[in-house]
Structure 1
Amino acid sequence: MAVLKVIEVLSNSNTSWEDATRKAVKQASESVKNIKSVYVREQSAVVENGEVKEFRVNVKLTFEVK
């Protein structure tokens, strides 16, 4: 039986929500090993002068505890 743990991570990108999600996983994987899945919990964006300037995500990362 595997033991799994879930943490929440916030990330942002000037490009897209997908890029923000990839950045969250990449950054977290530097200190958290065995990441198995990512769940995008929330998406938001910063708007300035009628244009989207920043994409933000709140993700849940699931990883196996060994």
Structure 2
Amino acid sequence: MDNWNTLLAVLLLLVDLLAILHVWRQSIETGRKVVWSLVILLLPVVGLIMWAIAAAPFGKVRL
């Protein structure tokens, strides 16, 4: 059971890092990049979901 928790934690960390890299590769203001990065880091699961919805092609929110 402990191995699954570790695997999930590492997987979540990798996906969060990929999301942050995607945010920093976008052509948006630096302030927005910092805010999105902090949201993803401080709220790993919820922040990732929020970012995925906002960054999706159908997303109404501008990153």
User: Which TM-score tier does this pair reach, normalised by the shorter chain?
Assistant: 0.3 to 0.5
More helix as a share of residues:
2
- Answer 1 or 2: higher relative contact order, Cα 8 Å, separation at least 6: 1
Larger Rg belongs to: 1
TM-score, normalising length: structure 2: 0.36
More strand as a share of residues:
1
